[in-house]
Amino acid sequence: MPKASKPSATKKAAKSETGKSGAKSNVAAAQIELPSIIDESTVFDQYIGKPTGALMISCKKIARINSAGIRAWKGCFDHLDKNGISLTFVDCPPVVLQQVALFDNFLSGGTISSVLVPYLCQICGKSFEKHYTVSELKKNKCDFQPSKCDKCGAMAEFDDDFDIYTRLIE
Ligand SMILES: [Zn+2]
């Protein structure tokens, strides 16, 4: 590890920054995005790379996970967890939350920080997703208010299984 400690100005700036943020870690988490299909052909290493401290995994593209995909997922994230990598899953769609509900420790000790919640407009049939952080869900107790459909202007309703969200805030 190179110890290129430089002028005092840099040092000072870094110091005040740490003081202000009070963050647990000053190392930014590596961010990756998983593909739309998680199955036997998914090579996790290709997406994960070689994280060192923390990893933020975007799940927003995921549309399908089959049983071989679940095994590959567990193999990958259990391994990272054992190596001390902290795992944060963001933008989790229902297909991911369903696995979390079904399988013990699907997240390998990781946490979910945000979800994508499906909405359906009963008037024009448009479906879309709304982003909620888990802190928002805790605050509003998963009370998913209707949301305006941008196609027809009617109020679209929450369109999913409540349980997969309420378990996140227990
Ligand atoms: Zn509509």
Query: For residue 146, how far is its CA from the centre of ligand 1 (angstroms)?
Result: 12
Strand partners, 7: none
User: Which tokens hold the place of 83?
Assistant: 């190596």
Query: For residue 24, how far is its CA from the centre of ligand 1 (angstroms)?
Result: 43
Question: Looking at the whole model, is its pTM more than 0.75?
Answer: yes
Dump pLDDT digits (tens) for 12-60: 444 333 334 434 455 678 999 999 999 999 999 999 988 989 999 999 9
Query: For residue 51, how far is its CA from the centre of ligand 1 (angstroms)?
Result: 42
Within 10 angstroms of residue 59's Cβ, the number of other Cβ atoms is 21
Q: Show me where the domains of the chain are located.
A: 27-112
In this structure, of 1-10, 65-74, 89-98, the range with the lowest mean pLDDT score is: 1-10
Contacts of 63 (CB under 8 A, 6+ apart): 36, 37, 93, 95
Query: For residue 117, how far is its CA from the centre of ligand 1 (angstroms)?
Result: 16
Query: For residue 124, how far is its CA from the centre of ligand 1 (angstroms)?
Result: 4
Query: For residue 78, how far is its CA from the centre of ligand 1 (angstroms)?
Result: 42
Q: How many Å apart are CA 112 and CA 68, to the nearest integer? A: 22
Backbone angles phi, psi at 132, to 5 degrees: -130, 140
Q: Is the pLDDT assigned to residue 128 strictly greater than 50?
A: yes
